[in-house]
Structure 1
Amino acid sequence: MFAGYFLTDVMSPLKPMLESEFGWSSTNYGIFTSAYGWFNVFLLMLIFGGIILDKMGARFTGLMSSGIMVVGAAIKFWAVTNPTLDTDTILGMHSQVFWASIGFAIFAIGVEIAGITVSKIIVKWFKGHEMAFAMGMQMAVARLGTMLALVAPVPLAMYFSSVHTVVENGQLVEKMAPSISAPIAFALVLLIIGFIAFFIYMSMDKKLELSEADLNAEVKKPMSMNELWLSIYSDLRQIVGNKGFWLIAVLCVLFYSSVFPFIKYAADLMVNKYGLDQEIAGSIPGLLPLGTLFLTPIFGGIYDTKGKGATIMIIGAILILIVHSIFSLPILNYWQVAVVLTIVLGIALSLVPSAMWPSVPKIIPENQLGTAFSLIFWIQNWGLMGIPLLIGYVLDQSNPEVALAKANGTAVPLYDYTNPMLIFTGLGALAIIVGMLLKMEDKKKGYGLELPNIQK
């Protein structure tokens, strides 16, 4: 998951380079980032992954998803290293954007299915014990990948830069061209290491089952096709008929849509709003996941021992609203303010997931968890697909002078990020409302979201 989270956000600090070296626009970048949800949303691949997880087991599904991640990353790497794609078009789209998006979309299938697989694995190993703490530890390591993705890509690209000759004012000039492919190659290597690591987990999981004399945990009795379809239909019917499930799912899409799409534009925001140099712009957003390394397990531990899961989620949503509201103001354009806001956003990123994911097993039976997690992730992917595309479009429409300057070859002005940040603010406000509705539903149905996870 560390490697997966690294590749997910590795292009974020590279947005200005993509524009200067490959001629991408903010809309192109928005299309690319939205590709994360193409196959998961429209082809329902994530839902199929959850069904496979429930019916085939975690070992098979984890191995499958890890392999898909590697394949998608390889296609993305090929796209940014192929010089013939710079000028070609496919379906009216920049060829490089198209193929990079296809690779990202395939990778997204793997990383999302891997996410639900890891969640079910943790429930299997830690249910009735320190489940939220274990999930928090897993998320902390994954967020370390996000932090590295915000800090490392630009230095890597500059370190492996090369000299090329361009024509400026009628004269040949030698310029240093950053290697945008270098950070992606590093991500691909990490994913291959992660793929190997899952084989190690598989042997550990088999030992667990042997020690518990539970040889049937992963190997299910053969079912006829009719029985299989009836089982799938029954699971889906029970899950979608659960109001608590829908409130968790909607809260998830609102929360993650206000954080992860923001991360993809955060480095560019630091350049345009706070005047930071591109080479260090990713260091401030890089503080965001740093806080989660320590806080997510801590908040998970609080949920395990003290409870208050729904309350924790509401507090996190309030922090989201505050942070994006201040980011949207056309004042306070000091990098020190950005640092404080990023730290607070990191606290929110620790609060909500530390309580949200451990709450799902309290609402959904364990034998339906894979399908339930996949449905939640599928709904989440609508936001992860649509919001980045919307932000890129709004950014271009709010700053027509930028596209005009690029077309005329004149000095490119800075982007005004006010409107995109107002969109993120609105998502935070909606998340607070849904969080309150979830707390009311828990009080009515007795899910136990406010109760500790550790069973005495």
Structure 2
Amino acid sequence: MSKLFKTLKDTGAIRWVALLCLALPMFASYFFDDIFSTINQEFEDPSMVALGWSMADYGFYRSAYSLLCIFGGLIICGMLLDRWGVRLTGSIFVGLMVGGAALITYAISESFAGSRLCAWLSGVFAKPSLSLAYAGCAMFGLGSEIAGVTVNRAIAKWFKGREIALAMGLQLALARLGTAVALIVVPRIVELEGYIPFSETSKPAVVGMVLLLGALVLWGLFVAMDYGADRRGAAAGSASGAADTGSPAEDRFRFRDVLKVITDRHFILISLLCVFFYCCVVSFRKFATAILMPRFGIDSDVASVMVAMIPFFTLVFAPLFGAVVDRVGRGTKIMILGSAMILFSHLTVAFAPGVPAFGFIAIGVLGLGYSLVPAAMWPSLPKIIAESRLGTAFSLVYWVQNIGLFTVPIVVGHIIDRASSPVVAEYFFIGLAVCAIVVSVLLSRSSDRHPELRLDEKAGGR
């Protein structure tokens, strides 16, 4: 009888189509987030930009991404995810992500510059475009982060006990491909010679908006698929004599369950590993060009190619390493290896001979480590946290990560300002990498003492 009511999630091809519908919105999100990453030099001379932003203005705009996330937005929305489910919560925050991006695109356009809204805001803010873009970036940031949490929650729902590490690796690879495409494509579609009009500054945002609108359609398709899968699952439960009212009451999320999450030793270790590890890579990437150019005697074009290696490596290796975790397990040992690779990379940047080849080696190893740790780390959460609390758990990890990604660039910026060379900042990244190794070793030892958690088992526990 169960074959007659086989759910959509039990059909391999349908699962991978669902994954594609989940991953491509994150591709669009990552692309839009990096639309200015390789062209922010245009803000060095505000008089040559119609938008009128300076580098300080750009830094202020970028800080908005984590604003709502840090001040409780991620935690509250994660709890809502566990109460409302992936369809409703995801639809709200994918919509918020697209709405925030639309606000940014409008704020940096010529249409806004000549509007009544701009004239009204001019009486309140010195730079109305910056103020409106800041609000849009805050909306976009919260929407993107909760969309990311929802995507991970949905993957756990569709792939738990199956190819979950491979699925998360593929999602991660496609998302980071958005960054890689932005780093490569945006400098080639924007003309930065001479005076830069609104049309050039807003061009990458318009491209990003087109991608996000397509992502919105794909999310709608996933919602329909997930609804269909749940209906078939309920029908299968009814046919086998089980109650069709959903999860048992004791498995449903309660607000006091947050305490169960934040007091879990393994959850704390995974959260700490996440913040130390991601700050070693993501925060480094924000300053990589400034560090690599003087360290290895290269120009900005070569440095940008080096930095672009990071997301391109994850495109290839994140799914591969995810498949390895599914097949062989040993996830905590893989986290140790990946953290050690990050440390090796930063040691190479700091102390290797100033030959460009060593720079490429260091960034290549960084890209491998950046693929290896998440392939094992993210699939570990569904193993230690009940599904009814999984959205809260993912959002809490993202919250801790955002605190690090908000504060570490500030610290590194001050180090570079005060140091004789930007390379001095590498000592700070080396310290973070050492912390990541220590935490991953502690997690591995705890896994050895608690085999019932199955942190080092392969998919399905076979």
Residue 150 of structure 1 pairs with residue 183 of structure 2: yes
Counterpart in the other structure of 1:140: 173
Alpha-carbon spacing, 1:162–1:206, altered in 2? closer, same or farther (3 Å): same
Counterpart in the other structure of 1:18: 43
Deviates more, 1:14-23 or 1:431-440: 14-23
1:292 Cα shift? 1.2
Counterpart in the other structure of 2:399: 378
* Count of residue correspondences: 420
| Per-residue Cα deviation, 1:339-380 (whole angstroms, up to 9, x for no partner) | 222211110111110000000011101111001111111111
Residue 259 of structure 1 pairs with residue 281 of structure 2: yes
Q: TM-score, normalised by structure 1?
A: 0.83
Counterpart in the other structure of 2:387: 366
Distance 1:450 1:50 in 2: 27
Contact 2:173 2:316 in 1 (8 A): yes
Residue 63 of structure 1 pairs with residue 96 of structure 2: no
The 3-state SS of whatever aligns with 2:168 is helix
Distance 1:123 1:355 in 2: 14
Contact 2:79 2:255 in 1 (8 A): no
1:57 Cα shift? 1.0
1:91 Cα shift? 10
Q: Which amino acid aligns with 1:247?
A: L
Counterpart in the other structure of 2:436: 431
| Per-residue Cα deviation, 1:70-128 (whole angstroms, up to 9, x for no partner) | 1221232234346699xx99999976555444322221101111111111111111111
Larger RCO (CA under 8 A, 6+ residues apart): 1
Counterpart in the other structure of 1:119: 152
Counterpart in the other structure of 1:39: 68
1:231 Cα shift? 4.9
Identity %: 35
1:240 Cα shift? 1.2
Equivalences for residues 124-203 of structure 1 within 5 A: 124-158=157-191, 164=195, 179-203=200-224
| Per-residue Cα deviation, 1:412-434 (whole angstroms, up to 9, x for no partner) | xxxx3213322222111111111
Distance 1:344 1:89 in 2: 48
1:61 Cα shift? 1.4
Distance 2:122 2:417 in 1: 21
Counterpart in the other structure of 2:136: 103
Alpha-carbon spacing, 1:270–1:176, altered in 2? closer, same or farther (3 Å): farther
1:276 Cα shift? 4.6
Contact 2:295 2:349 in 1 (8 A): no
The 3-state SS of whatever aligns with 2:234 is coil
Counterpart in the other structure of 1:443: 448
Q: Which has the higher helix share?
A: 2
| Per-residue Cα deviation, 1:271-311 (whole angstroms, up to 9, x for no partner) | 55445554564322111111112211111111112111111
- Aligned mate of 1:311, from 333, 352, 359: 333
- Aligned mate of 1:205, from 223, 226, 231: 226
Counterpart in the other structure of 1:335: 356
The 3-state SS of whatever aligns with 1:449 is coil
Contact 2:290 2:422 in 1 (8 A): no
Q: Which amino acid aligns with 1:117?
A: T
Residue 7 of structure 1 pairs with residue 35 of structure 2: no
Distance 1:376 1:185 in 2: 32
Deviates more, 1:110-119 or 1:89-98: 89-98
- Structure 1, unaligned runs of 5 or more: 165-174, 400-415
Q: Which amino acid aligns with 1:131?
A: I
Equivalences for residues 223-372 of structure 1 within 5 A: 231-271=253-293, 273-274=295-296, 276-278=298-300, 281-329=303-351, 332-372=353-393
Distance 2:274 2:364 in 1: 21
Alpha-carbon spacing, 1:430–1:292, altered in 2? closer, same or farther (3 Å): same
The 3-state SS of whatever aligns with 1:286 is helix
1:214 Cα shift? 5.5
Distance 1:336 1:295 in 2: 21
Equivalences for residues 73-112 of structure 1 within 5 A: 73-81=101-109, 98-112=131-145
Q: TM-score, normalised by structure 2?
A: 0.82
- Aligned mate of 1:452, from 450, 453, 458: 458
Distance 2:295 2:187 in 1: 19
Alpha-carbon spacing, 1:327–1:15, altered in 2? closer, same or farther (3 Å): farther
1:269 Cα shift? 4.0
- Structure 2, unaligned runs of 5 or more: 1-25, 238-242
Alpha-carbon spacing, 1:233–1:212, altered in 2? closer, same or farther (3 Å): closer
Counterpart in the other structure of 2:77: 49
1:147 Cα shift? 0.9
Deviates more, 1:7-16 or 1:421-430: 7-16
Q: Which amino acid aligns with 1:283?
A: V
Q: Please tell me the root mean square deviation across aligned C-alpha atoms, in Å.
A: 3.2
Alpha-carbon spacing, 1:93–1:417, altered in 2? closer, same or farther (3 Å): farther
The 3-state SS of whatever aligns with 2:321 is helix
